[in-house]
Amino acid sequence: MPQPPRIAVLASGRGSNLQAVLDAIADGRLAAQVVGVYSDRPAAAALQRVPEALRWSAVPARYPSRADYDAALTDAVAASAPDWVLCVGYMRILSDGFVQRFRGRLLNIHPSLLPKHRGLHTHARAIEDGDAEHGASVHFVIPELDAGAVIAQAVVPVAADDDAERLAARVLSVEHPLLLATLQLAVAGRIAEQGATVTLDGHPLFTPLRLDSAGNSLNR
Ligand code: GAR
């Protein structure tokens, strides 16, 4: 029997997105396997969500240079022979070498409706800007931060009395189904990065897929 597609996961924090992936694999909603979880923070809760044999972590400051840490991370991820590399709350900027090594199979979930609000503090910035809608995006990673082709997005309303914490929780609740729906397309070989464009079943997507809170497509 063919082996399920192999997913390597990079995470710096609590790992709720990773848990959503693990749960979906366990109950048969995602035909894949997690082959390693990699973190720049050895105390990250995300690491605890997989068996010890699958964990890799290293404190970047303990390496002589940024390039040394990046090379160690690249080698460790490559050693797990991933079909897909998934960033879920990995809070360090990936080196160009890492991105080039895994380009085309490197995905990130970002808590905004890209191209709005690249970088940090996305929820506070959405409120500050008076956005009526906010959400999350899954995109291919390129060397420029949060600038790769967007595959799919999920939208939530911004309420007049929202603070960043409450808005973040609302976004997180749609991140998990968004991530799973996108990964289902990825592991089935249905999406690909072609330059600045995403193709779905070989056809270019002119706008990102929009998914509802259950992860169902709204535009196909
Ligand atoms: C998620 O909201 C994810 O979108 C965000 O970090 C959180 C991780 O949550 N990612 C970024 O901000 C990347 N720039 P989790 O650890 O519970 O999955």
Residue nearest to atom 6 of ligand 1 (CA): 89
Tens-place pLDDT, residues 55-67: 999 999 999 999 9
What average pLDDT does the segment 45-74 reach?
A: 97
Distance 11 CA to ligand 1 centre (A): 8
CA dist 92 and 12 (Å) reads 8
Tens-place pLDDT, residues 130-169: 999 999 999 999 999 999 999 999 999 999 999 999 999 9
Catalytic residues: 110
Residue nearest to atom 8 of ligand 1 (CA): 89
Do the beta carbons of residue 113 and residue 125 sit within 8 Å?
no
CA angle 72, 73, 74 (to 5 degrees): 90
Domains and CATH numbers, the chain: 6-211 (3.40.50.170)
Cβ of 177 below 6 Å from ligand 1: no
Farthest CA pair distance, the chain: 53
pTM reported for the whole predicted model: 0.96
Tens-place pLDDT, residues 93-122: 999 999 999 999 999 999 999 999 999 999
Q: Which atom of ligand 1 is nearest to the CA of 171?
A: 2
